[in-house]
A and B are shown apart, each in its own frame.
Chain A
Amino acid sequence: EDKVVQSPLSLVVHEGDTVTLNCSYEVTNFRSLLWYKQEKKAPTFLFMLTSSGIEKKSGRLSSILDKKELFSILNITATQTGDSAIYLCAVEAPTSNTGKLIFGQGTTLQVKP
Chain B
Amino acid sequence: EAGVVQSPRYKIIEKKQPVAFWCNPISGHNTLYWYRQNLGQGPELLIRYENEEAVDDSQLPKDRFSAERLKGVDSTLKIQPAELGDSAVYLCASKRQAWDNSPLHFGNGTRLTVT
Interface residues of A (CB under 8 A from B): 4, 6, 9, 32, 34, 36, 41-45, 48, 50, 88, 90, 94, 97-106, 108
Contacts and interface: CB of A to CB of B under 8 A. Distances in A.
A99 B108 contact: no
B55 A88 contact: no
Which of A9, A48, A97 is most buried by chain B, counting CB atoms within 10 A of its CB? A97
A98 B49 CA distance: 10
Contacts of B48: 98-100
A48 B99 contact: no
B11 to A, nearest CB: 15
21 contacts: A32-B101, A36-B106, A42-B106, A42-B108, A42-B109, A44-B106, A88-B42, A90-B42, A97-B99, A98-B48, A98-B55, A98-B98, A99-B31, A99-B104, A100-B56, A101-B33, A101-B45, A103-B43, A103-B44, A105-B42, A108-B40
B67 interface: no
Contacts of B95: 99
Which of B101, B102, B104, B109 is most buried by chain A, counting CB atoms within 10 A of its CB? B104
A13 B66 CA distance: 43
Contacts of A100: 45, 48, 56
Interface of B: 3-4, 31, 33, 35, 40-45, 48, 55-56, 91, 95, 98-99, 101-109
A4 B33 CA distance: 19
A66 to B, nearest CB: 20
Nearest to A31: B101
Which 5 residue pairs spanning A and B have beta carbons closest together? A103-B42, A99-B98, A41-B108, A42-B106, A97-B99
Contact of A88 (B3, B43, B109): B43
Given A42-B91, A105-B42, A94 B99 contact: yes
A99 B56 CA distance: 10
A19 B105 CA distance: 26
A98 B99 contact: yes
Contacts of B43: 43, 88, 103
